[in-house]
Structure 1
Amino acid sequence: MTVLNQLHPRVLQTIRRCARGWNRIGTQTQFYAKTLGSIGDAFVHYRIELLRLIAQMGLGAGALAVIGGTVVIVGFLTVTTGAITAVVGYNQLSDVGVEALTGFASAYFNVRLAAPLTAGVALAATIGAGATAQLGAMRINDEIDALEVMGIRSIAYLASTRVISGVIVVIPLYCVAVLAAFFSARMITTAIYGQSVGVYDHYFNTFLYPRDLIWSFLLAIAMAVVIMLVHTYYGFTATGGPAGVGEAVGRAVRTSLVASGVLTVFLSLAIYGQSGGFHLSG
């Protein structure tokens, strides 16, 4: 009986923890559904706020606008990943005597994996983290409650507008990301390693499928939706003062990065399958 009495509180505590976890999942799902369902209201009633957020996310505000804000950050990150693809691809392929296929590596890995994942990291660290910090500061200062008292739909005004802005901004940002990755890979391979420009362009153009670029853009848009939903939720529910806002930003970035990776894996398997969708033959 004594052992049972000691185990009973532990069992109850475990059940309560599981119940709290499921309640958090349900709360998040409800918030995501309301945010997506309020997109129409954001377009109809809050167009000015939507345009302001698009300008802020794309070019930055204050000092960030001088260096281009998110555009420059995404460009630098994807230049780095494109260069890494060229360096690793050339050296690995040269070990087996097929370094001419470095153009294939750039067309294949940059479009399907490197550029989408890098853009997702950049979105989470810049636009997403900024949205969480803004909404968290508004929450702890009771500004969100003040908006609701004035009759403004807080979720549509604050969350849905940011989701729409993230999706709109990610389209030109992803164009910059893909072009930067292609440019850096080509420059490293031809200018530093000395491969012929014609050989590189031949294999690059042969294995760069327009269909893959379209799928890559759709994957980037899906990642932007997931990232903005996660970050707006954590900012909307931030508690505990300034320290709580910082904690919410950290949790949002961690959750959005994991969600982006999982989304990339499942969508890539659904789109390209196990074979990869290409045939390499001589």
Structure 2
Amino acid sequence: MVLAGSDLVARSRRRARRVSAAVDDVGGEVEFFVAAVRGIPQALRHYRKDVIRLIAEIGMGTGALAVVGGTVVIVASLTLFTGGTIAIQGYSSLGNIGIESLTGFLAAFINVRVAAPVVAGIGLSATIGAGSTAQLGAMRISEEIDALETMGIRPLPYLISTRIMAGTLVVIPLYSAAMIASFYACRFATVSIYGQSGGLYDHYFRTFLQPVDILWSFFQAIAMGAAVMLVHTYYGFTASGGPDGVGRAVGRAVRASLIVVVSVTLLISLAVYGATGNFHLSS
């Protein structure tokens, strides 16, 4: 009985230590995020050229990523195929009940509110997010960040705040290309592959495409871009353990950012469309 009681106490203490460590980790992340955001004004004053350079690198890519056209082409390709999938599934499903003419409605409704933002967020996480984590992790394990501190340069504004600004700003043209690609894929699949009248498709598409939904969709994409950059820069800045540790940091960052992307989509959808839906089934 004494041994059993001591084992129970030991397990309870281990659980308490794990909970305490988890709370400390969350507190450290929040402190990092606040410091990174507070460093944005300093980055604007002193590191404008670095922000412009990072925007070019993030948008068009470097090295092997630049060969295929950078993040813009990758994210636009993802939403292109997603839009085609929506058209194929929507036309087939609506055709089962004889209303395949409403495929344009699905393109205007699902693409803007759910599909394009989520897929674009996933593309951001896998490209600019993972790249930022790897860059910062490599700088951490090679002691470049420590060298910056020795030179009197604050690493957070110089390395983190500039990347957050660049990643957030580049989302606007990037998401514009992604949205256009998804719309084009839906129309091409419906009109050119299934043979639906272009005028019929355009009528329902323009009827149900509300400009305010596009604005909210862009706001959602910008919020996801900022959140993805915050998560990935944190894991890269705190990486340890050599090249293997950097790889683990990239994996953990991608996993966390995917959760953040879906969470942002859920919260914004609840806030904007949760009460009324902002949807009118009329022309």
Correspondence for 1:103: 104
Q: Which amino acid aligns with 1:58?
A: G
Amino acid at match of 2:172: I
Q: Given the alignment of the two structures, is residue 229 of structure 1 paired with residue 234 of structure 2, yes or no?
A: no
Three-state SS of the structure 2 residue aligned to 1:97 is coil
Matched to 2:214, the amino acid is: L
- Letter matched to residue 49 of structure 1: D
- Report the AA paired with residue 244 of structure 1: G
Corresponding residue of 1:73: 74
Q: Distance in 2 between matches of 1:77 and 1:162?
A: 23
1:184 is displaced (CA, Å) by 0.3
Count residues with an aligned counterpart: 282
Match of 1:168 in 2: 169
Q: Which residue of 1 aligns with 2:51?
A: 50
Q: Distance in 2 between matches of 1:19 and 1:83?
A: 48
Structure 2 match to 1:59: 60
- Counterpart residue number, 1:2: 3
Deviation at 1:281, TM superposition (A): 4.8
SS at match of 2:279: coil
- Aligned-pair distance for 1:22? 0.4
CA RMSD of aligned residues (A): 1.0
| Aligned residue number for residue 247 of structure 1 | 248
- Deviation of 1:40 (Å): 0.4
Structure 1 residues 93 and 275: CA distance shift in structure 2, 3 A: farther
Deviation (angstroms), 1:238: 0.2
**1:137 partner letter:** A
Letter of the structure 1 residue corresponding to residue 50 of structure 2: E
Distance across 2 between alignment mates of 1:281 and 1:39: 45
Which residue number in structure 2 is paired with residue 183 of structure 1?
Answer: 184
Higher mean alpha-carbon deviation, 1-10 vs 43-52, is at: 1-10
Q: Which moved more, 1:267-276 or 1:110-119?
A: 267-276
Cα deviation digits, residues 204-259 of structure 1 (max 9, x gap): 00000000000000000000010000000000000100000000000000000001
Q: Which aligned pairs between 1:201-220 and structure 2 lie closer than 5 A?
A: 201-220=202-221
Partner SS for 2:196? coil
Provide TM-score, normalisation by structure 1.
Answer: 0.98
- Report how far residue 277 of structure 1 moved: 1.2
Q: Secondary structure of 2:97's match?
A: coil
Query: 1:152 maps to which residue?
Result: 153
Q: Counterpart of 2:83?
A: 82
The superposition leaves residues 247-276 of structure 1 with CA deviations (integer Å, 9 ceiling, x where unpaired) of 000000000000110110111110112542
3-state SS of paired residue (1:279): coil
Instruction: Percent identity, please.
Output: 55
Could you tell me which runs of 5 or more consecutive residues in structure 1 were left unpaired when the two chains were aligned. none
SS at match of 1:130: helix
Give the Å deviation of 1:167.
0.7
Q: Deviations over 1:174-209 (max 9, x none)?
A: 000000000000000000000000000000000000
Matched residue, 2:132: 131
Cα distance per residue 1:85-104 (max 9 Å; x no partner): 10111111111111000000
- CA positional deviation for 1:149: 0.8
Mapped partners of 2:12, 2:235: distance in 1: 30
After the TM superposition, which of the residue ranges 5-14 and 272-281 deviates more from structure 2?
272-281
Provide the secondary structure at the position in 2 that maps to 1:266.
helix
The Cα shift of 1:68 comes to 1.2
- The residue that corresponds to 2:263 in the other structure is 262
Q: Structure 1 segments of 4 or more deviating over 6 A? A: none
Q: How far apart, CA to CA, are the structure 2 residues paired with 1:276 and 1:85?
A: 20
> Using the alignment, how far apart are the partners of 2:7 and 2:246 within structure 1?
38
Amino acid at match of 2:25: R
Structure 2: stretches of 5+ with no match in the other structure:
none
Map of 2:277 onto structure 1: 276
CA distance in 2 between counterparts of 1:67 and 1:9 reads 55
**Residue number in structure 2 paired with 1:121:** 122
Q: Within 1, Cα distance between the matches of 2:148 and 2:91?
A: 56
Normalising by structure 2, what TM-score? 0.98
- Give the Cα separation in 2 of the matches to 1:91 and 1:126: 33
